[in-house]
Structure 1
Amino acid sequence: MKTIVMQNPLKEKYDHDDIAVAIGFFDGIHLGHQQVIHKMIDIAEEKQLKKAVMTFDPHPSVVLNHEMKRTTYVTPIEEKKEIFACMGIDYLFIIPFTSSFANMSEQNFIRDYFTLNHVKHVIAGFDFTYGKYGKGNMLKLEDDKDGFEVTMVQKEMIDDDKISTTNILKALKSGETKRANAMLGRPYSIKGFVVQGEKRGRTIGFRTANVMPKEDYVIPKVGVHAVRFKLLSQNKTYNGVCNVGYKPTFNDPSVNQLTIEVNIFEFDESIYGESVEVEWYEFIRDEKKFDGIDALIEQIQQDVIQSKQILSNV
């Protein structure tokens, strides 16, 4: 897959074959996004066009909505690249979402990013908008198209609710991990590195791997989760229980440092610096402060049992 960042002068970016392009922000690449991309692939193969995806970075809210800007992602840009490459995409176009881009007219957007860019077919979801103030929509794109065809993909539903990144974010933050995973079509995951922690876990019989995300991922709800832990260098996967939080039993309440710590079952290796992936399956309980170490140990033992039960059904 060739990645093309659409920075000026744009005419230097047009040196590629004719394409069918799926366009959207695609955070999560959830089941709804996948429908758009699979539709693009079908059209590209039918028309003998190259398969392309066009997305934006950063999230438009960074420019358009300072009070509600979003700087964490279900699939940060590097993860998007990996997923698109695995889907067999030929070209990935990344449009830097800047103030000047946000002010671009609908006509100029169509001309610069579609017509001149060898686009022969545009595929997008029903709610895709473009141009200044987002005034352009899929119906208008059909009317204003110039040298290309347009296909609109309808929304995907689950349990009478729209599959959307917004709903996935709500589910992850409220502990409804199974619901988020159902909308994603796969377990939510975070890639990162194992870093040095305070090493308190080993003193109470529960060694943990302290995971630092390598990108700006959305972190699931604070508390205890059933997870699977992938050691990427060895291509091995282990079951585990993960605490996301601030370790109130040990830490001063004024210390506000979020950690992701995984107790890996049946595992006793030193893996500092290793690249890993944490897959999230089910929220178990909220984080709480215990009166003493014995009460904490007893609760962790229960968490381990519950996590093993959950993951035995995966």
Structure 2
Amino acid sequence: METIHLTYPETPDVVPSVMVLGFFDGVHTGHQAVIRHAQEQAERLNVPVTVVTFDPHPKQVLSNKPDAVRYITPLSRKLKRIESLGVERCLVLTFTKELAGLSPQQFVDDYLIGAGAVHVTAGFDYSYGKFGEGTMETMPFHARGRFTTSVVNEQTEGGEKVSSTRIRKLLGAGEVDAAATLLGSPYVICGEVIHGDARGRTIGYPTANVVMDASYVMPRLGVYATRVRLRDGRTFHAMTNVGRRPTFYDTGDVSIESHLFDFSEDLYGQLIEIEWVRFIRNERAFDGLDSLIAQLKQDETTARSILS
């Protein structure tokens, strides 16, 4: 997939295409429906598809709490997921206050008409231009007769709208399996393995301590059945703890530690991916190592059963 990064006032080259608009955090099943619709239009018109998205999240630029923004799919992962859907081209517009200040007409002129759009599509709730004043209802007016438009209706699962907000809430509640249904695949985070206190190794449960490589949505604190994918492509069943390790610390930062089953290699410095399969239990403090080890053995049995 050709990926073009632009910062206003930079504008794209003219490439006739069907343009599909959205932030696409998660690239969930609702987003996938929009992209599939664009691909159908592109096949009809015999042109490629261009996804138009933004980075960073608008809230990071426009809100008073930019550090509070967490992503289901940070940009690198979002682009991988978009490419996996067969999209040929992606414009990534750096979201700045200057870009946010464009009128709806100027946004369309510069980034849709100016980029060669022959057809533009988006979800029913997409908005553009200053204060989000442009909507898919106004898009035909702003098109100036240069391109046609279509709108993809709300996508639902279980009678409720599929949305990034809903997925974030599910992850925050530990319902990673329900989130996977909406995403169309398990939730994944990526991070580097760093040195920890090596306590897990002394009790027979060595862990890969992972520092996330971006601002991912953090699943609820607790123990999960997971799969860990290494940089060489191998995947191992695992159990992963998200928490503050209350057995050993009164307070502390939240950490992510994965114990890979049937694995004994050195992972320090590697970027790994953790695929979240199912929540097992809440994190809790234990009254000693014996009770902790007994619980870890039970967690392993549960995780192996889930993953088998």
1:290 maps to 2:274: no
* Unpaired segments ≥5 residues, structure 1: none
Note the 1:103-122 alignment, pairs <5 A. 103-122=101-120
Whole-Å separation in 1 of the counterparts to 2:283 and 2:259: 15
1:231 maps to 2:220: no
1:260 maps to 2:256: yes
| Structure 1 residue matching 2:115: 3-state secondary structure | coil
Shift of 1:6: 2.3
For 1:100, the equivalent position in structure 2 comes to 98
1:61 maps to 2:64: no
For 1:136, the equivalent position in structure 2 comes to 134
1:6 maps to 2:2: no
Describe the superposition over 1:194-225 as per-residue Cα deviations: whole angstroms up to 9, x where unpaired.
Answer: 21111100111111111222222112111111
Describe the superposition over 1:210-255 as per-residue Cα deviations: whole angstroms up to 9, x where unpaired.
Answer: 122222211211111110111121x2111111001111111242xx
For 2:211, the equivalent position in structure 1 comes to 212
Shift of 1:88: 2.5
Whole-Å separation in 2 of the counterparts to 1:291 and 1:101: 55
Whole-Å separation in 2 of the counterparts to 1:190 and 1:32: 20
For 1:182, the equivalent position in structure 2 comes to 181
Give the AA of the match of 2:181. A
Shift of 1:50: 1.7
Note the 1:157-172 alignment, pairs <5 A. 157-172=156-171
Normalising by the residue count of structure 1, what TM-score does the alignment of the two structures yield?
A: 0.94
For 1:145, the equivalent position in structure 2 comes to 143
- Contact kept? 1:126, 1:138, Cα under 8 Å: yes
* Bigger mean CA deviation after superposition, 120-129 or 207-216: 207-216
Q: 2:301 aligns with which of 287, 290, 305?
A: 305
Whole-Å separation in 2 of the counterparts to 1:69 and 1:150: 36
- Contact kept? 1:194, 1:272, Cα under 8 Å: yes
Whole-Å separation in 2 of the counterparts to 1:164 and 1:264: 32
| Structure 2 residue matching 1:297: 3-state secondary structure | helix
- Contact kept? 1:190, 1:277, Cα under 8 Å: yes
Shift of 1:136: 1.2
Percent identity of equivalent pairs: 40
For 1:44, the equivalent position in structure 2 comes to 42
For 1:154, the equivalent position in structure 2 comes to 153
Shift of 1:69: 6.6
Normalising by the residue count of structure 2, what TM-score does the alignment of the two structures yield?
A: 0.95
Give the AA of the match of 1:133. F
Shift of 1:106: 1.1
Whole-Å separation in 2 of the counterparts to 1:306 and 1:282: 10
Whole-Å separation in 2 of the counterparts to 1:209 and 1:285: 19
Whole-Å separation in 2 of the counterparts to 1:54 and 1:144: 17
Whole-Å separation in 2 of the counterparts to 1:3 and 1:236: 28
For 1:202, the equivalent position in structure 2 comes to 201
Describe the superposition over 1:172-195 as per-residue Cα deviations: whole angstroms up to 9, x where unpaired.
Answer: 001111110110010001122221
Aligned-residue Cα RMSD (Å) equals 1.5
Shift of 1:3: 1.6
Whole-Å separation in 1 of the counterparts to 2:241 and 2:67: 27
For 1:34, the equivalent position in structure 2 comes to 32
- Contact kept? 1:10, 1:112, Cα under 8 Å: no
